Structure formats: C-alpha cells, structure tokens
Amino acid sequence: MSEVVTFGEIMLRLTPPGNLRLVQTPQFEITFGGAEANVAVMISQLGGCVDYVTKLPANDIAQRSINELRGLGVGTSKIARGGDRIGVYFLEQGASQRAGKVIYDRANSAIALAEKGDFDWPRIFSGARWFHWSGITPALSSSAAAITAEAAAEARRQGLTVSFDLNYRAKLWSREKAGEVLTSLMKTVDVCVTSVEEARTVFGIEIDENDPEREKQAARKLCEKFGFKMIALTQRQGSLACETSWGAMLFAENQAYFSRRHEISIVDRVGAGDSFTGALIFSLRRGDSPQTAVDFAVAASCLKHTISGDYNLITLDEVEALAAGAGGGRVQR
C-alpha cells in the first residue's frame, strides 16, 4: 500500500541524439516521462512507496511506459486503461546560447479524454497519506481539470496532504486560463511548489524585482492569497543552455529557509524541477526539518541535471552526500 499518490500524464519522449536539431536528426532516442511520473520515480528511487495514476491505451507503447515505471519501483496497479493514444513530446536539447525546444503531440491523448468514472478516488487513496498533482494536468482538457478537482477534493476529504507544482506551460494554455482554473483548485493545496516568475505570470503576484527578499515577499503573498501551509520557490539563474546556478527557498511557519546554491554543467535539465518536488515530498514525509528538506531536494534536483532522460536515476546515498557538502566530481574508487 503506497503512502504517496501522484496523478498526471506520462508521455513518449523522442529526443535527437547528442545536440542534433529536430530538423537534422535521422533518428530519435526513446524514453518516457511527464511531471507527475517523474515525481513518482524520484520518490521511489529514494526508497519511498508511491503509486502513479493516469489513463493509458491498451497498446505496446503504453505498456512499455508502465513496465519501466514498475521496474523503477513505482506502483502502477491503479492506472486506468483505454483511449487511443499516449501523448508524445519531441525534445531538442539546447547548447550554449541556443535554447532547448519542446514540441507537443498530445492532443486527444487517453488522459486528456478521460472521464470522472475512470478513477475510483476513494479506493485509490485508501491508506495513502499524500497526493501530488501539477498545473500541467488540468491544462490538458476541461475533463482532465474536472478529474483533478475531484481527486484533490477527495484527497482533502480523506485527510491527505496535498501538494501542487504550478508547472505553467504556455504551449498548453494562456496565463489567463491557467489563473482562472488553478485559482479555483488552490483551496485544497497544502504545499505549493513554484517560482517567483510563475507566481507572477499565473496568479498575478506583484513582486518588487529589486527587493533582495523577493522570494519571501512572494511566499507571504501566496500564503495570504491561498492559505498554503508551505511554499517552495525554486531559483534558477543562468544565460546558457548548458550551465545553470540552482537553489531554492522553502517557506514554512512564516520562516524562510534557503538552500546552498549549486553551479551545474547540464546534461539534461528536463525533470529537474520534478526531482526537486519528489525529493521534497520524500524528505518532509520522513520528518526532516525545513532546512534539511530544502537542502535535500535541491541536491536531488542538482544531480538530475547530470542524467539523460526525464527520470532521476540516483540513490539516496548520493543525494545525502551532496546535501551534506560532498561533491567535486571525483571518481569513487
């Protein structure tokens, strides 16, 4: 029986090898991923017990995505089957000043066309303690938004902690539509993960950019607006696709806790934010202090930047070591 449940869309990911562009590649590397699936894999890799919920067609490609999740320790027994297609996304990795690019082919996917009756949320949440979803799922369709609302309401009714990652995707919906739909769902959320930029774009949170404590300012305004118990704000800085400076702030009980910053040479940045969220959930679930939790989550997401694919294939020991200050990239002998 899993303590954490995540809900969203898993997609087939097609990526040109190396740094080839979509217009020049003769072949694609096949992997799978999606925000909530990535969170589930992160929790499982760290030793947590987690179920992933979605709807997938009954075909070989969808089955492969399920097989991979199972192989990584994620519970898949509550996945609904049906529909005609799994969503697809094409990822062109950036390099230096050239930004990465994503092209979606996910319209009319099984989860986008799912209906409320596809998911028995009282049964799905039986024995669980935490429910996680992101702003991507309700962006897929009006029915997906209604299912998300039903799930979050049932999770709250059963006393689960509910976490939410804003994950605004401009290619899926406008900021006005996102603000309208997501605002109505915030009453069920205990823990919010976002960034200052996303909070401004979607929720209209006004922040003084010159304020050295702009993260604290944003967190307080979000708490006042929505009543969150805890807010995590990720902090990314950098002007190159292959390098970044990464950190975060966790705001809890009117106190701000800042992680150390990591300077990273990027292999694959996709899924790094999801790894942060998954590691944060794992750390909070095991009772870590806010400072320990934010340091742990940032360390996990730092390591994800060095791993190809959406999934963060690391160990608990590796995260603990980096969070404690170990590093340097030396070969372990």
Token pair of 225, please?
Answer: 């607006």
User: Would the pTM of this model clear 0.85, i.e. be above it?
Assistant: yes
In order along its 333 residues, the chain shows pLDDT tens digits of 689 999 999 999 999 998 899 999 999 999 999 999 999 999 999 999 999 999 999 999 999 999 999 999 999 999 999 999 999 999 999 889 988 899 999 999 999 999 999 999 999 999 999 999 999 999 999 999 999 999 999 999 999 999 999 999 999 999 999 999 999 999 999 999 999 999 999 999 988 877 778 899 999 999 999 999 999 999 988 878 888 888 999 999 999 999 999 998 989 989 999 999 999 999 999 999 999 999 999 999 999 999 999 999 999 999 999 999 876 566 565
What is the C-alpha separation between 249 and 295, in angstroms, rounded? Answer: 9
SS3 state at 81 = strand
Please check whether residue 333 lies inside any domain of the structure. Answer: no
Amino acid at 220: R
Phi, psi of 180 (to 5 degrees): -65, -50
- Tokens representing 55 are 């709807």
What's the CATH code of the domain at 24? 3.40.1190.20
Selecting among 51, 118, 165, 274, the annotated active-site residue is 274
Q: Give the 3-state secondary structure of residue 183.
A: helix
- Counted domains in the chain: 1
Look at residue 170 and tell me if it is in a domain. yes
pLDDT at 180: 97
Strand residue runs (E) in the chain? 4-7, 11-15, 29-33, 50-53, 55-56, 80-81, 87-92, 101-105, 130-134, 161-165, 191-194, 230-240, 243-252, 255-258, 262-265
Domain assignment present for 329: no
181-to-55, 121, 142, 192 alpha-carbon distances in Å: 21, 21, 9, 16
Residues pairing with 263 in the sheet: 245
Answer yes or no: is 332 within a domain: no
274 given a catalytic annotation: yes
> DSSP class of residue 260?
P
Structural domain boundaries enclosing 15: 4-323
Residue 328 lies in a domain: no
Among the listed residues 78, 86, 100, 83, the one whose alpha carbon sits nearest the alpha carbon of residue 33: 86
Burial bucket for residue 254 (CB in 10 Å: 0-12, 13-18, 19+): exposed
